[in-house]
């Protein structure tokens, strides 16, 4: 209440002209920003340099706005009034605004570096997508943390006051934040140990999904139905799951087929091998020759002779582990039909006993 009364007294003291001048200054800054953007768009023809110019103008405008406002309002009593005391440090509106400004600039800076600088470094050292995501996340954490610490220390914030916050946080963790902190620490372990990384294909409870993003608390994965699953980071350290991309992207595919009992089994084996070879030459060039495909006469079934074929593909992109087996079954059906090999259906013999 005292802060509001002090601010109203100051408003009456300086008069309306003071505030109109401030508003005019803000409008002038925004007009200059608009002019600079139009000039850059007209003079700069490279799309990449246009993006960098816009980012530079936006950052500069934000910096000028903050400095202008803090300078223009430097004599206002409410800006430096104590809101509360944190340890030995007086927390004011100016302190809060300054820290928010530093955080915003740090986030914008880290995002710009991730978008325009780090990709060239990654391509130079041929880092995979998962390693890139790890470095991006760690880089942003470090930049924001350092920016906050530097800002607080520069503004006279007593960092020893954070021990009070740490003690309060410890009590909070003991009573209700165990799960949040567990997932946060698990996220850091995942980024360093990398049991799962961005771009990996994983299987969780018979659901196949691709890892899209590893955040502070949870990991975002995309299923084959284009649905997003949000999984706590601790899951990947405590539960069992399958990571198809952990060592490499190769995958063995198994296709089963049954033929009638009167079929020529040698011909069946030959047709299966030919089908895989033709499929490789015509459509799917990523079917591997090493390890070579293998055909197994698996079992004498109730109604059919059961065969199984194993073959390997080099990667799992574009749902190839589902599309290739489907195309192989189409080709097998055509070849068996052309060679008079029957694919049987379950049959039962019914014997009738006539009683005299």
pLDDT attached to residue 123? 77
The pLDDT assigned to 148 comes to 76
State how far the Cα of 131 lies from the Cα of 269, in Å rounded to an integer.
43
- Spatial contact of 335 and 277, defined as CB atoms under 8 Å apart: no
Which has the closest alpha carbon to 104: 155, 157, 72, 66? 66
Helix (H) or strand (E) holding 182: helix 178-193
Segments in 241-319 forming alpha helices (H): 265-282
pLDDT of residue 78: 62
pLDDT attached to residue 18: 65
CA 277 to chain centre: 37
pLDDT value, residue 153: 72
Whole-structure pTM value: 0.55
Please, what are the averages of pLDDT over each run of 10 residues along the chain (356 residues)? 56 63 80 85 77 77 73 63 68 74 78 77 72 77 79 66 59 60 78 83 88 86 89 88 82 91 92 92 88 92 91 84 91 92 78 70
pLDDT at 172: 57
Determine the pLDDT at residue 225. Answer: 84
* CB count in 10 Å sphere of residue 259: 22
Using one digit for the tens of pLDDT, what is the confidence trace for 104-121? 777 877 887 777 777 777
Distance (Å, whole) CA 1 – CA 86: 20
**Residue 356: predicted pLDDT:** 60
Give the other-Cβ count within 10 Å of 316's Cβ: 20
pLDDT in tens, 4-56: 555 556 556 656 666 677 778 788 888 888 888 888 888 887 776 777 778 77
Domains, the chain, ordered by start: 1-156 (no CATH), 158-246 (2.30.30.60), 251-339 (3.30.70.100)
How many residues are listed for the chain in this entry? 356
Helix axis angle, 129-154 to 93-116, nearest 10°: 150
């Amino acid at each position: 209440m005292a802060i509001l009364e002090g601010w109203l007294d100051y408003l009456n003291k300086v008069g309306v002209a003071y505030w109109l001048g401030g508003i005019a200054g803000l409008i002038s800054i925004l007009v200059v920003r608009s002019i600079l953007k139009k000039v850059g768009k007209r003079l700069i023809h490279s799309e990449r340099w246009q993006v960098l110019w816009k980012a530079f103008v936006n950052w500069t405008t934000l910096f000028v706005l903050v400095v202008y406002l803090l300078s223009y309002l430097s004599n206002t009593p409410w800006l430096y009034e104590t809101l509360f005391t944190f340890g030995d440090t007086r927390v004011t509106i100016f302190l809060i605004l300054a820290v928010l400004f530093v955080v915003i600039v740090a986030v914008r800076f880290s995002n710009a570096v991730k978008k325009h600088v780090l990709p060239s470094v990654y391509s130079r050292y041929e880092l995979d997508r998962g390693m890139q995501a790890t470095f991006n996340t760690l880089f942003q954490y470090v930049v924001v943390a350092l920016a906050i610490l530097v800002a607080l220390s520069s503004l006279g914030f007593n960092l020893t006051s954070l021990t009070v916050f740490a003690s309060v946080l410890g009590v909070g963790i003991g009573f209700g934040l165990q799960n949040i902190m567990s997932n946060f620490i698990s996220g850091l372990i995942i980024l360093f140990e990398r049991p799962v990384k961005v771009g990996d294909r994983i299987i969780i409870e018979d659901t196949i999904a691709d890892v899209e993003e590893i955040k502070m608390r949870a990991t975002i994965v995309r299923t084959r139905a284009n649905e997003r699953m949000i999984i706590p980071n601790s899951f990947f350290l405590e539960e069992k799951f399958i990571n198809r991309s952990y060592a490499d992207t190769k995958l063995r595919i198994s296709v089963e087929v049954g033929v009638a009992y009167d079929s020529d089994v040698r011909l069946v084996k030959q047709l299966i091998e030919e089908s895989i070879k033709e499929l490789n030459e015509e459509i799917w060039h990523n079917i591997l020759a090493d390890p070579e495909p293998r055909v197994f006469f698996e079992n004498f079934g109730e109604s059919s002779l059961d065969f199984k074929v194993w073959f390997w593909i080099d990667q799992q992109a574009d749902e190839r582990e589902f599309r290739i087996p489907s195309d192989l079954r189409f080709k097998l059906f055509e070849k068996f039909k052309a060679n008079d090999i029957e694919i049987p259906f379950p049959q039962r013999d019914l014997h009738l006993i006539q009683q005299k």
